Amino acid sequence: MPELKKEVYEVTIMGSGPAGLTAAIYTARANLEPVVFEGPQPGGQLTITTDVENYPGFPDGIMGPEFIERTRQQAERFGTEIHQVLISDIDFSVRPFAVTLDDGTKFKTHTLIIAAGARARLLGLESESALMGYGVSTCATCDGFFFRGKEIAVIGGGDSALEEAIFLTKFATKVTIIHRRDEFRASKIMQDRALKNEKIHVLWDTEVEEVVGEKMAGVEKLKLRNSKTNETSELPVSGVFVAIGHIPNTHIFNGKLPMDENGYLITLPDSSKTEIPGVFAVGDVQDHVYRQAITAAGSGCMGAIDAERYLEELHDA
**pLDDT tens digits, residue range 100-120?**
999 999 999 999 999 999 888
Note whether residue 1 is domain-resident.
no
Residue 238 and residue 250 in one domain: no
Instruction: Give the domain extent around 164.
Output: 123-243
Strand partners, 100: 89, 106
Q: Give me the catalytic one of 60, 91, 142, 306.
A: 142
Active site residue 143: yes
Q: Give me the catalytic one of 51, 102, 103, 139.
A: 139
CATH code of 91's domain = 3.50.50.60
C-beta separation of 143 from 269 below 8 A: no
**pLDDT value for 17:** 94
Residue 129 and residue 238 in one domain: yes
Note whether residue 216 is domain-resident.
yes
**pLDDT value for 50:** 60
Note whether residue 25 is domain-resident.
yes
Note whether residue 2 is domain-resident.
no
Residue 12 and residue 79 in one domain: yes
C-beta separation of 50 from 138 below 8 A: no
Residue 251 and residue 113 in one domain: yes
Count of CB atoms within 10 A of residue 93's CB?
Answer: 9
Q: Give me the catalytic one of 143, 284, 287, 306.
A: 143
Residues of the chain with pLDDT > 70, as a percent, come to 98
Active site residue 301: no
Specify the 3-state DSSP secondary structure of 38: coil
Residue 20 and residue 104 in one domain: yes
Tens digits of residue pLDDT in 228-265: 999 999 999 999 999 998 899 999 999 999 999 999 99
Residue 284 and residue 182 in one domain: no
Work out the average pLDDT over 147-168.
Answer: 94
Domain-terminating residue out of 213, 228, 243: 243
d(CA 218, CA 176): 18
Number of domains the chain contains:
2
**pLDDT value for 135:** 95
